Amino acid sequence: MSHPVPKGFRLAGVHCGIKSDATKEDLTLIATDQECVAAGVYTQNLVVAPSVTQNRAKTPCENIRVLVVNSGNANACTGERGEQDCREMSRLAGEAVGASEAQSLVMSTGIIGHFLPMEKVATGITGAAALLGSDDTAFASAVRGITTTDKFLKTSSRSIDIGGQPVQITAMAKGAGMIGPNMATMLCAVMTDAALTSGDAQQILTHAVDRSFNCISVEGHTSTSDMVLLLASGAAGVGPSSDSDRATLQQAIDDVCVEVARMIPSDGEGATHLVTIDVTGCSSRDDARRIAKTVAESALVRTAITGNDPNWGRIVSAAGYASVEFDPSKVTLRINDALIYEAGMPAVYDEKQVSESMRDSHEVRLSLAFGEGDESVRFWGSDLTVDYVKFNSEYST
């Protein structure tokens, strides 16, 4: 794994004892050389961790110096002590880089309802601050420090040109279960050295999240600690000064968010398939998203995909209970490009061949077309296996 760290950022990940496995990093620092712009998008759950409430109050802003992330403990549902511990994490991280608590952001992920071991956290922050760097080793340790049940690291980057100057965007994310639109048990930090205002950063991030992290689901569970942060150091010395520049930057940030977002259901706990759902021909994007989300979260659809069964009835009927008005006689369904259902009736297709195409590919593509309009959405989910049930019956939330 090698991704350029944008100018103006230094990172490190260390093990400080939050996780029992001493070989796994559990605390990450992302520091900036100068004050940077920060924007955030947060979980829509009413039950939220202090990291969410405190970061919401700080962003968007233009004076952040450090982001501290711990994994293995979500510090959620921990009352006033949890609030105090989160503020103390901010203070310690700020102090470690010569900044204030107000210039620090916090992410926490892991088990809910447990107090943070603050002595270990303090030691970890001090240790990570001493190791801050911008090389591949520093980046990789920082990415490992934000993971929990992830089977692989989720990173992406793009290099673009703005005003004749190179601009870098690099993202890291974590997540494998308790994933649903409007954020879920996932975290993502997107870094860029482009110069942005806080207002522009918030608009760009909201647009990107709408097309990425709010279009993924493993089981539809929107959790308590989840967020995406965009940090812009401005160290490239250039920012978007025209509509064309802005579109180029927006597309690059959209792309890195989509790339890491689709890795999350691909890594869904126990999953054997990534499910990509394209819904087209709707009267609104919201309608398309509601249909895609309903199909993605249907236990019957997901188990059919686990069994490599092109069960069109489960897919079409799931669309039908998504609380979206449409003409059933204008619905078309393709699975892995094979026409399965057309104009409200099953098509003639080779069931064995389609099943084999599902079996032989990690990604299964469902394409649902309607006749209501021109709006569309792409959504990602995962199948449902016995291993998912086993894992989550044994893992304490």
pLDDT in tens, 347-366: 999 999 999 999 999 999 99
Whether 114 shows a pLDDT value over 80: the answer reads: yes
Average pLDDT over residues 203-220: 87
Whether 106 shows a pLDDT value over 70: the answer reads: yes
Long-range contacts of 79-87 (CB under 8 A, 24+ apart): 81/115, 82/49, 82/50, 82/115, 82/116, 83/50, 83/53, 83/54, 85/50, 85/115, 85/116, 85/118, 85/121, 86/49, 86/50, 86/51, 86/54, 87/50, 87/54
Taking residue 153's Cβ as centre, other Cβ atoms within 10 Å add up to: 18
Strand, helix or coil for residue 279? strand
Instruction: Report whether 104 contacts 66 (CB < 8 A).
Output: yes
CA distance linking residue 197 with residue 168, whole number of Å:
17
Predicted confidence at residue 266, as pLDDT, reads: 78
Active-site annotation holder among 78, 185, 294, 306 = 185
Predicted confidence at residue 117, as pLDDT, reads: 97
Whether 265 shows a pLDDT value over 70: the answer reads: yes
Predicted confidence at residue 184, as pLDDT, reads: 46
- Tell how strand 27-42 and strand 338-342 pair up: unpaired
Q: State the DSSP code for 259.
A: H
Whether 281 shows a pLDDT value over 50: the answer reads: yes
Interval 159-192: pLDDT, tens? 999 989 999 999 999 976 554 545 445 799 999 9
Q: How confident is the model at residue 1 (pLDDT cuts 50, 70, 90)?
A: low
Mention every residue, 6+ apart, whose C-beta is less than 8 A from residue 296: 217, 220, 275, 277, 302, 379, 380, 381
CA distance linking residue 151 with residue 1, whole number of Å:
14
Average pLDDT over residues 232-251: 96
Predicted confidence at residue 211, as pLDDT, reads: 93
Whether 321 shows a pLDDT value over 50: the answer reads: yes
Q: How confident is the model at residue 327 (pLDDT cuts 50, 70, 90)?
A: very high
Predicted confidence at residue 186, as pLDDT, reads: 76
Over the chain, what is the mean pLDDT?
92
Task: Give percent of the chain above pLDDT 90.
Answer: 79
Q: Which segments of 303-348 are extended strands (E)?
A: 332-335, 338-342, 345-346
> Is 185 annotated in the active site?
yes
Task: Give percent of the chain above pLDDT 70.
Answer: 93
Predicted confidence at residue 219, as pLDDT, reads: 58
Mention every residue, 6+ apart, whose C-beta is less than 8 A from residue 227: 40, 41, 42, 43, 51, 52, 55, 107, 183, 187, 188
Peptide bond into 60 cis (omega under 30): yes
Q: Angle 50-58/79-96 helices, nearest 10 degrees?
A: 50
Predicted confidence at residue 394, as pLDDT, reads: 61
2-6, 173-177, 183-187, 301-305: lowest mean pLDDT where?
A: 183-187
Q: Which segments of 89-226 are extended strands (E)?
A: 104-111, 154-162, 165-174, 187-192
Whether 390 shows a pLDDT value over 50: the answer reads: yes
Token representation of residue 123: 């030691």
Whether 307 shows a pLDDT value over 90: the answer reads: yes
Whether 222 shows a pLDDT value over 70: the answer reads: no
Counting Cβ atoms within 10 Å, is residue 396 exposed (0-12), middle (13-18) or buried (19+)? exposed
**Domains of the chain, CATH where assigned:** 9-264 (3.60.70.12), 274-394 (3.10.20.340)
- Tell how strand 227-232 and strand 187-192 pair up: parallel
25-29, 114-118, 194-198, 259-263: lowest mean pLDDT where?
A: 259-263
Average pLDDT over residues 204-217: 92
Interval 19-72: pLDDT, tens? 989 899 999 999 999 999 999 999 888 888 999 999 999 999 999 999 999 999
Q: Give the number of C-alpha atoms closer than 13 A to the C-alpha of residue 116, restricted to the C-beta side.
A: 35
Counting Cβ atoms within 10 Å, is residue 113 exposed (0-12), middle (13-18) or buried (19+)? middle
What does the DSSP assignment read for 192-213?
E-S---HHHHHHHHHHHHHTTG
Q: Which helix (H) or strand (E) holds 85?
A: helix 79-96
Predicted confidence at residue 356, as pLDDT, reads: 97
CA distance linking residue 360 with residue 144, whole number of Å:
30
CA–CA distances in Å: residue 342 to residues 314, 332, 356, 394: 15, 4, 21, 43
Average pLDDT over residues 311-322: 96
Taking residue 283's Cβ as centre, other Cβ atoms within 10 Å add up to: 16
Predicted confidence at residue 44, as pLDDT, reads: 81
Q: How confident is the model at residue 220 (pLDDT cuts 50, 70, 90)?
A: low
Average pLDDT over residues 373-384: 94
Whether 136 shows a pLDDT value over 80: the answer reads: yes
